[in-house]
Amino acid sequence: MKDLFKDVSVFVSSLFFPNRCIFCDGLIAPFDDYCECCAEQIPFIKGEICNHCGSAMEDCQCDKKKSVNYSAVAAPLYYEGDVKSCIQRFKFKDDRNISKPLARLMFDALKENFADISFDYVTYVPMYRKRERERGFNQSRLLAREISELCGITFADKMLVKLYDTDNQHECSGLERTGNLIGVFDVDGKTDITDKTVLLIDDVKTSGATLNECGKMLYLNGAKSVICLTAAVRNSKI
């Protein structure tokens, strides 16, 4: 009955606020997330993936000798073209409705790549509190809450904290991105993560520096395994 009521509500809402493709913004059916054209053109990550960078194995050109502070990373999409535009609208133009469709895609990637893993907690990459107040929300937190509801993993809010502000990662070069984040994150200590498997959520993985630093702090505080899940990753062959 609950699902039926939800479906009727979505349909009625679509009569007044037409549903639009999260990628191209074109009109679509009430219960769709994206149009048929985008379904064919959007760079979905398909097949076996590289756990080190998240790219499909056929695309992977990452440096596997470079150590990372997580066990694996996955995403449903490559961060390019209309996917990049979609996530930027989500983050910088307050289009929070995008969080649910992106989370559903991420959930599909989670089931496909980590179905055999039992997670204890799902948490997210934090923002510095002043930045979060200015934006009005943390996009990674929204995604983590949706993922928690979809898969039933306990949502660990504020497990990670960002201690001070930093330059935007997209404005830094590769080495600068790593140096920009050293010592920035910490674990709040309210949740015991000793020997726990943590699902760490972020919107995008580009260099991987942010996930790496957050993962490091989780491991230093006793986590058994850290698995990362993002909406998109940079294709390592580009």
Q: pLDDT of 115-155, one tens digit each?
A: 999 999 999 999 999 999 999 999 999 999 999 999 999 99
**Structure confidence at residue 6 (pLDDT):** 46
pTM for this model (two decimals): 0.89
Check: CB of residue 175 under 8 Å from CB of residue 137: no
Closest CA to 108 of 235, 229, 7, 25: 229
Rounded to an integer, what distance in angstroms lies between the CA atom of residue 69 and that of residue 208?
10
Structure tokens at 167: 């330059």
Taken in order 86, 91, 97, 102, is the CA torsion positive or negative?
Answer: positive
pLDDT averages per 10-residue partition of the chain, 238 residues: 47 64 95 96 97 96 93 98 96 94 98 97 96 95 98 97 78 51 91 97 96 97 98 91
Neighbours of 62 (CB within 10 A): 18
**Structure confidence at residue 163 (pLDDT):** 94
Closest CA to 203 of 232, 226, 162: 232
